[in-house]
Amino acid sequence: MLPPMLALAFVVALVTQSHATDLVLEARLVTPARLKVGEPVTLTMALHNIGKRALPVVKPGDGSESNWREPFVWYTAERQVDGKWVTVPKAQVGRCGLFDADWDKDTVMLAPGARLVLADWVDHPEYSIALDQPGHYRMLVHYAFGTATRSGVEPKGAMKGVAPFEVVSAPVTFELVR
């Protein structure tokens, strides 16, 4: 039998490892793979529990796109320039200062094999990255827990003891033309 502190450390490590290895972030392009600059890039996104036990996760809410509350959901992208992949800068978009700090109410248990569709409160990519140049793009979607900068809400309930983690989608590729 393990001493209580060692047992607790084992459980925390198990939870952290499960989130990092048992969650897959799926992203698929809904719009055509060839778009005009300025047309919205639309994706479907879902967290998929490929593990053998239920995991607590937090649904995005008002402020998730800005990392003001849990979870932080955002995009990164690269554009091909002269045969090399170059990081696409962030878009310069303002937003109000109001957000839903009470993210704990958005915690759900994701059963083995289940998917949580990430649709509400997830902005279109062009609101967070500068998709204003023609070219070939590869974009990633990120979902992170434990990074919020403004909520001030300590994890409780099912998320208490869950260490910070991040899952990243496979690249979604598309082309923007004039």
Residue 104: the pLDDT is 92
Q: What confidence tens digit (pLDDT) does each residue in 133-162 have?
A: 999 999 999 999 999 988 788 888 999 999
Query: What CATH number is given for 4-177 in this structure?
Result: 2.60.40.2970
What does the DSSP 8-state code read for residue 53?
Answer: S
Domain ranges of the chain: 4-177
Residue 6: pLDDT band (50, 70, 90) is: very low
Residue 4: pLDDT band (50, 70, 90) is: very low
Residue 7: pLDDT band (50, 70, 90) is: very low
Dihedral sign for Cα atoms in the order 149, 150, 153, 159:
negative
For range 81-103, the mean pLDDT: 92
Q: In what helix (H) or strand (E) does residue 177 lie, and over which residues does it extend?
A: strand 172-177
- The CA distance from 7 to 46, in Å, is 32
Q: What confidence tens digit (pLDDT) does each residue in 35-87 have?
A: 999 999 999 999 999 999 999 999 999 999 999 999 999 999 999 999 999 99
Average pLDDT, the chain: 90
DSSP state letters, 91-158: P-----S-----GGGGEEEE-TT-EEE--TT---GGGTB---S-EEEEEEEEEEES--SS--PPP-GG
Residue 17: the pLDDT is 56
